[in-house]
Amino acid sequence: MQSNQYKIQQSENQPNTLYHQLVKALEATNNLDLRAGINFYEEIQQYEVALIRRSLQLAAGSQKKAAALLGLLPTTLNEKIKRYQIS
């Protein structure tokens, strides 16, 4: 767990990192009008897909490196890529 925390702390000082994008995405949830109702699972899926795509972009397509960026096992990332049909 400490290694993931270290990665995030290292990223905080670098602009345009996955960490900053994560923070911005979480801040964007403040703009959701929950009174109108949302599909929670659809919102989570869209967020996951966006994170996976961005991590793959940063890792030049390497699933192993992208998984490390996300703190996932490569097999977990691969399963999510297949489930969400991410190309």
Amino acid symbol at 68 = A
pLDDT of 26: 73
Name the strand (E) or helix (H) holding 48.
Answer: helix 40-58
In angstroms, the CA 37 to CA 41 distance is 12
pTM (2 d.p.): 0.69
> 30 vs 44, which has greater pLDDT?
44
Task: Let me know: does 23 contact 54? Beta carbons within 8 Å.
Answer: no
Which pLDDT tens digit goes with each residue over 5-25?
Answer: 434 444 444 445 777 777 777
**Max CA separation in the chain (angstroms):** 40
What letters, b where the CB count within 10 A reaches 16 and e where it falls short, cover 5-26? eeeeeeeeeeeebbbeebeeee
Q: Which overall architecture, per CATH, does domain 2-83 show?
A: Orthogonal Bundle (1.10)
